[in-house]
Amino acid sequence: MAKVALVTGGSRGIGAAISVALKAAGYEVAANYAGNDEAAAAFTAETGIPTYKWSVADYDACVEGIRRVEADLGPISVLVNNAGITRDAMFHKMTPQQWKEVVDTNLTGLFNMTHPVWNGMRDRKFGRVINISSINGQKGQAGQANYSAAKAGDLGFTKALAQEGARAGITVNAICPGYIGTEMVRAIDEKVLNERIIPQIPVGRLGEPEEIARCVVFLAADDAGFITGATISANGGQFFV
Ligand code: NDP
């Protein structure tokens, strides 16, 4: 029977590419999203992948959402924590709300989603948790103290949980994308993108969502069991750890 994979923020951007790639690799895929019903409906119509709406920032909603997915498709073997937001501001202008929204979604969201699936993975002696962090969690980024802190936290979470899951057949890994051409990045002023951002990327272009999806499929595989606690940097050579 096909393994079930759940992708948070799986209906748009990088998450959509991940959902599609996992489906193509033979998984039964569920894509979660937060509020963009129109994008989710279009995604399901195009791909046949069911979408489920709840916020990863809300623990109770995650428990209930995961219950629905498991009732429909079966136990979750692969969890991709991809949902993420930005609320950029220089620190002297950053509001407590901007801080909280980003940390609640991009960091606490990983606890909220992983905790309800963890015991099931332990019982079944198999699990793959793949966390989409960011280059800006590795190097820090001006204007993104909230985002950089949350994404760096994702890496600590990954390494700690990898140690806890290892004996139970659960791997926990992170991917740190550089600039990928999704709506999140295309929202950046075009002049800033072309004159300041792309010239910093040695390969000379933005990454494609499918290039991140390929890393996820690799880490999700049954025979990737010796890779855990790892961080894959996929950033066009922009930053080396
Ligand atoms: P997009 O803005 O294109 O898509 C974000 C997705 O996350 C949407 O499906 C959105 O749902 C969902 N989402 C947002 N908040 C929540 C929430 N609280 N609960 C559930 N789902 C939520 O983002 P990207 O594809 O660009 O980014 C995906 C991930 O990759 C993020 O974690 C991001 O930080 C990371 N990343 C992206 C980079 C890039 O260059 N794009 C670079 C490095 C990291 P809805 O459609 O309902 O709004």
34-43 pLDDT, tens digit each: 999 999 999 9
Q: Exposed, middle or buried, 161 (CB in 10 Å: 0-12/13-18/19+)? A: buried
- Quote the pTM value: 0.98
Average pLDDT over residues 173-180: 98
In the predicted structure, residue 9 carries a pLDDT above the cut 90 = yes
pLDDT score recorded for residue 1: 87
* Residue 183, both tokens: 């709506």
Helix (H) or strand (E) holding 85: none
Average pLDDT over residues 205-209: 97
Atom 32 of ligand 1, residue of closest alpha carbon: 84
Q: Starting at the earlier edge strand, list the strands of the sheet with 4-7.
A: 51-53, 28-33, 4-7, 76-81, 127-132, 170-177, 231-234
Q: What percent of the chain has pLDDT over 90?
A: 96
Q: How confident is the model at residue 186 (pLDDT cuts 50, 70, 90)?
A: confident
Average pLDDT over residues 191-217: 96
Q: Is 27 part of the annotated catalytic residue set? A: no
Contact 37, 107 (CB under 8 A): no
Pocket probe mutation, ligand 1, options 182, 185, 197, 232, max atoms within 8 Å of Cβ: 182
Query: Which of the residues 33, 52, 147, 179 is marked catalytic?
Result: 147
C-alpha to C-alpha distance for 6 and 11, rounded to whole angstroms: 11
pLDDT digits (tens, 9 = 90+) for 83-136: 999 999 999 999 999 999 999 999 999 999 999 999 999 999 999 999 999 999
- Cα of 100 from ligand 1 centre, angstroms: 16
In the predicted structure, residue 241 carries a pLDDT above the cut 90 = no
Average pLDDT over residues 186-211: 94
Atom 36 of ligand 1, residue of closest alpha carbon: 134
Average pLDDT over residues 210-219: 98
